[in-house]
Amino acid sequence: MNEVLAIAAAVALAYFAGLSVIYLLFTTIAWRGITQHARERNYAPTAETLASPLTPPITIILPAYNEEVGIVESVYSLLGLHYPEFEVVVVSDGSTDGTVERLRTAFDLGRVRKVMRASIPTAPVVATYASRRHPELSVIEKENGGKADALNCGVNAARYPYVCAIDADAMLEEDALIRVAQPMLMDSRVAAIGGIVRIVNGCAVQHGRVTAVGLPRSRLATMQVVEYFRAFLVGRVGWSRLGSLLIISGAFGLFRRSLVEAVGGWATDTVGEDVELVIRLHRYMRERDEPYRVDFVPDPVCWTEAPEDLGQLGRQRRRWQRGLAETLWRHRRMWLNPRYGFLGVIAVPYFLVFELLGPLLQLAGYPVVAFAFATGAVSAGFLIAFLSMAVLFGVVLSVSALALEEFSFRRHRRGREAARLLVFAVLENFGYRQLNDWWRLRGFVDVARRKSEWGEMKRRGLGYSPGAAGSPSFE
């Protein structure tokens, strides 16, 4: 019995040690990459220089389902972007609330007949509208088909060669579009680009713009601020530098429209349509041996609302895990397949072992090692080594991600906020990460049970204004 426990404990230690080494590698890559990006940014063309009449136009697609609370502010933020030529296409995906009515009133919409391609099949369109005050704004009302179906409908309606997918609860900074488009406009090999997403909870927002950056009062939302630093500044910068970025956030991604149409658009039969599209683009380009890049730019900012209660956050993480599981299974041909290079041999197996199966291994590791120590199967030194890998090294990595943010961008300039973030960078490793693993494990179970519903996410909306600039605005 003790021998079995000792082997199981050794497997748990090896897993956490391997994960720690990978995170350390990615942190090192991210530090070098963002440091280089910061130096290049000092000599890069300004947004005004890039925004010339020759800059290719972009279609921004905003899928919306029952988003009446914040839809007007979201659209205002998009209409105020600094970009030479763009259009905003809002797709109401069978909304049953006042989403379309709010848009009609705020932007003086009139019903029109809009010419649309039929390159990607979608649910039927009910009506199309154009704004009398903003000629670059159009609204499509269609039968419900899901977020992916709404995005595909927006692609069919797009007039321009690039499409930017934005969540209805998200806001872009004024120069975010020109900044995220820069690599694609300067390199014809770039197929898709993701931008960094930050949490708006606690910020002052007026007329669709973040006027002062603050931290949420909610402890749960503050945990997510630190988590997003680690995911975007470390994870996505690292994978991008290795040429194997698999995830572009559904909240903010830019794509070549011709490629999206070539692969059939966003998949409507998965809740992970964002990651699935990116992997399908990788496959499409590699199977044709065409040179391409999928990139990530760390400084254009998209602000999004984070869940502030455990129920909504748990549903969100379960859904993300279901989407990852469905996508990896759908593209199982890539597992350890050298035809797909580093992507197939390293990146996809990493997501399979450490992201998909990781929650089970991580949650099982704690009780296994504790029981092995209690029964004398492992020594005190082994227990200390395990806790160092499983917990203390996680603290180091979280603090490193926070330091990377402060060194590179420093959005939270007040010392009190930086100190609070430091405290939460430590605390998130004692309970929050384990709770996240539990939700992700339940998402894996959802896949086995073929549970596919999206799950309701209640929004407070982005159109709030706190009593004092920069003061926390929720609760």
Q: Which fold has domain 46-344?
A: Spore Coat Polysaccharide Biosynthesis Protein SpsA; Chain A (3.90.550)
**Per-position DSSP letters for 353-422, written without gaps between them:** IIIISHHHHHHHHHHHHHHHHHTTSS-HHHHHHHHIIIIIHHHHHHHHHHHHHHHHT----SHHHHHHHH
Average model confidence (pLDDT) for the chain? 90
- Residues forming beta bridges with residue 253, ordered by sequence position: 165, 194
CA distance between the termini of the chain: 52
Instruction: Write down the pLDDT at residue 70.
Output: 84
Work out the pLDDT band at 473, boundaries 50, 70, 90: very low
Q: Is the dihedral of CA 259, 153, 250, 171 positive or negative?
A: positive
pLDDT at 50: 61
Q: Which pLDDT tens digit goes with each residue over 399-425?
A: 999 999 888 887 887 889 999 999 999
pLDDT above 60 (res 461): no
pLDDT at 386: 95
pLDDT for 207 equals 76
Contact 336, 345 (CB under 8 A): yes
Distance, CA of 290 to CA of 1 (rounded, Å)? 54
At residue 467, the pLDDT reads: 34
Q: Tokens for 415, please give them.
A: 């010392």
Q: What one-letter code names the amino acid at 95?
A: S
3-class DSSP state for residue 1? Answer: coil
List Cα–Cα distances, 393 to 17, 31, 309, 409, 425, in angstroms. Answer: 9, 17, 27, 24, 12
The predicted pLDDT at position 102 comes to 96
Look at residue 248 and give its three-state secondary structure: coil
Mean pLDDT of the 31-46 span? 74
pLDDT tens track for 344-392 = 999 999 999 999 999 999 999 999 999 999 999 999 999 999 999 999 9
pLDDT band for position 169 (50/70/90)?
confident
Nearest to 205 by CA among 475, 391, 472, 425: 472
**What pLDDT, on the 0 to 100 scale, is given for residue 470?**
33
- What does the block give as tokens for 102? 């709010």
Cβ neighbors of 382 (< 8 A, separation 6 or more) are 9, 13, 369, 373
In the block, residue with structure tokens 């602000």? 303
- Per residue in 220-276, pLDDT (tens digit) is 999 999 999 999 999 999 999 999 999 999 999 999 999 999 999 999 999 999 999
Domain with CATH 3.90.550.10 in the chain: 46-344
Given a contact cutoff of 8 angstroms between Cβ atoms, the answer to whether 164 and 192 are in contact is no
Long-range contact pairs involving 349-358 (C-beta distance under 8 Å, separation at least 24)? 350/22, 351/246, 351/324, 352/328, 354/18, 354/19, 354/22, 355/324, 356/321, 356/324, 356/325, 356/328, 356/444, 358/19, 358/437, 358/440
3-class DSSP assignment, residue 245: coil
Q: What's the alpha-carbon Rg for the chain, to the nearest Å?
A: 23
Is residue 466's pLDDT more than 60? Answer: no
Residue 472 has pLDDT above 60, yes or no: no
